[in-house]
């Protein structure tokens, strides 16, 4: 899958990718700040000092724009994580590298990921407009594909005895939860340096790796706590 | 702190607690399904076959109702988790018990917790009405108090050498993230039995405990993956 697959260009009047990208960035910011209901095409246009007409040149409606933010958000994650998920190394090494990249991708594309994590459901339920089902299905398929990258590595690690035995989706949920929680507590304006971000990413990656690893002493429940 | 502290009765015209509780349950459902913007006092009244007047007898506005759902949501969590956080046992035993209770409390009070996790920010930003600051401060204070229960136990465990060394908030974030992610993937209609819930809660509690525990072999990074 190439990066082209991550934005929807089917049947759109405008195709210039620079123009689209700028609009999409502004839309991600607007949805992040005001939510689906509060965001407006006017606000998106204002952010890039453009006219509403220019936005409508690329996107037919607010829903279109919202769904394209979701597609792009998932595309960013898959592009960041797939190479290490499918690369060389033990499952533990790959899980750690995937978690690092996942955390960095959230921090570096904060508006997209924050909108993405909020999910599609509520805005589309409350929206009165027609639902472009093909795009919704694409977003859902990308989500599944992304979770499968984690579930696959976790399954390998369990099979090899490095990770605890558990159905892979039972491990991928808390792994992704620990990582995605970043979208709720990270404050871009307070953590501007690459070093801060690296420390946050490493802390999360170490945590989820420990969570997945089988303990050499075989203890993984409440009874394991009697240290020393 | 008693359960009375978790709903706001100051200056409200109605004080009958049964009537309030029924309205609050309906409001939690409505906010969960439609979000802050989509939910209406009409919908809340319809759900309990009451008049809007009866809702306004207890709550002045949708914001009031929304904030009281948040207060109650935090109250449920603190009441469930505090006794084991401050009870006997090693930090590892207590962390595991806290995580179990936290997961069960989410599943048993799903609408409240799902609304609570969405947060206050966006609805109050987009809302044009006056902001009842005292209630917002109370919600924020309860959130901090709740996270402190986890941070405190994690800090003790680190000090005793059972948990990895990390500033406590660096561990409490992924712990709460792994647990709270439940509000995004749990489907009450698909997991109705106590056994299913117990399995989900135990799986999460085991994960976060492993994530916090120092490994006896001292390995906690990507290099730890070369299993036996």
Assign residue B97 the CATH number of its domain: 1.10.357.10
- Going by C-beta distance under 8 Å and a sequence separation of 6 or more, which residues neighbour residue A21? none
Does some domain include residue B110? yes
- A210 closest CB neighbour out of B91, B119, B210: B210
- A227 closest CB neighbour out of B162, B177, B178: B162
For residue B206, the distance in angstroms to the closest alpha carbon of chain A comes to: 5
For residue A10, the distance in angstroms to the closest alpha carbon of chain B comes to: 30
Does some domain include residue B48? no
Does some domain include residue A103? yes
> CA of A168: how far to CAs of A130, A145, A163, B91, B207, in Å?
36, 14, 10, 28, 13
- Going by C-beta distance under 8 Å and a sequence separation of 6 or more, which residues neighbour residue B50? B23
Measured between beta carbons, the chain A residues lying within 8 angstroms of B93 are 222-223, 225
Measured between beta carbons, the chain A residues lying within 8 angstroms of B228 are 161
Measured between beta carbons, the chain A residues lying within 8 angstroms of B207 are 171, 174, 211-212
DSSP at B163: B
Q: Cβ of A97 and B222 within 8 Å?
A: yes
- For the segment B135-194, what is each residue's pLDDT rounded down to a tens digit? 889 999 999 999 999 999 999 999 999 999 988 788 999 999 999 999 999 998 887 799
Does some domain include residue A34? no
pLDDT per residue as tens, chain A (228 positions) = 444 456 554 444 455 677 899 999 999 999 998 888 889 999 999 999 999 999 999 999 999 999 999 999 999 999 999 999 999 999 999 999 999 999 999 999 999 999 999 887 766 665 655 566 788 899 999 999 999 999 999 999 999 999 999 887 889 999 999 999 999 999 988 877 999 999 999 999 999 999 999 987 655 544 443 333
Does some domain include residue B7? no
The total number of structural domains in chain B stands at: 1
Tokens representing A176 are 């992704």
Please give the interface size between A and B, counted as residue pairs whose CB atoms are below 8 Å apart.
Answer: 196
Q: How many residues does chain A have?
A: 228
Does some domain include residue A136? yes
Cα(B132)–Cα(B71) distance, integer angstroms: 13
Half-sphere exposure of B215 (CA within 13 A, CB side): 19
Please say whether the beta carbons of B181 and A181 come within 8 A.
yes
Please say whether the beta carbons of B147 and B176 come within 8 A.
yes
Per-chain mean pLDDT for chain B: 86
Does some domain include residue B164? yes
State which residues form the domain around B142.
Answer: 62-214
Measured between beta carbons, the chain A residues lying within 8 angstroms of B213 are 210, 215, 224-225
Does some domain include residue A99? yes
Chain B residue closest in CA terms to A157: B225
Tokens representing A11 are 């049947």
Start-to-end Cα distance in chain A:
50
Please say whether the beta carbons of A110 and A62 come within 8 A.
no
- Going by C-beta distance under 8 Å and a sequence separation of 6 or more, which residues neighbour residue A127? A36, A63
């Amino acid at each position: 899958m190439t990066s082209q697959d991550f934005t929807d260009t089917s049947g759109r009047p405008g195709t210039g990718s620079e123009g689209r990208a700028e609009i999409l960035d502004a839309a991600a910011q607007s949805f992040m700040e005001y939510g689906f209901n509060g965001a407006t095409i006017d606000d998106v246009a204002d952010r890039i000092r453009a006219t509403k007409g220019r936005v409508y040149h690329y996107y037919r409606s607010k829903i279109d724009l919202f769904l394209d933010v979701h597609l792009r958000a998932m595309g960013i994650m898959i592009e960041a994580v797939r190479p290490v998920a499918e690369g060389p190394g033990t499952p533990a090494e790959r899980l750690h590298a995937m978690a690092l990249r996942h955390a960095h991708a959230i921090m570096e594309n904060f508006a997209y990921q924050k909108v993405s994590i909020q999910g599609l459901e509520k805005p589309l339920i409350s929206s009165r407009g027609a639902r472009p089902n093909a795009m919704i299905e694409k977003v859902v398929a990308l989500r599944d594909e992304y979770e499968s990258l984690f579930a696959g590595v976790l399954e390998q690690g369990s099979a090899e005895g490095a990770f605890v035995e558990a159905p892979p989706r039972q491990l991928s949920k808390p792994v992704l939860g620990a990582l995605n929680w970043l979208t709720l507590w990270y404050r871009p304006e307070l953590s501007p340096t690459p070093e801060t971000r690296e420390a946050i990413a490493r802390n999360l990656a170490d945590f989820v790796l420990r969570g997945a690893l089988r303990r050499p002493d075989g203890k993984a429940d409440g009874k394991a706590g009697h240290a020393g």
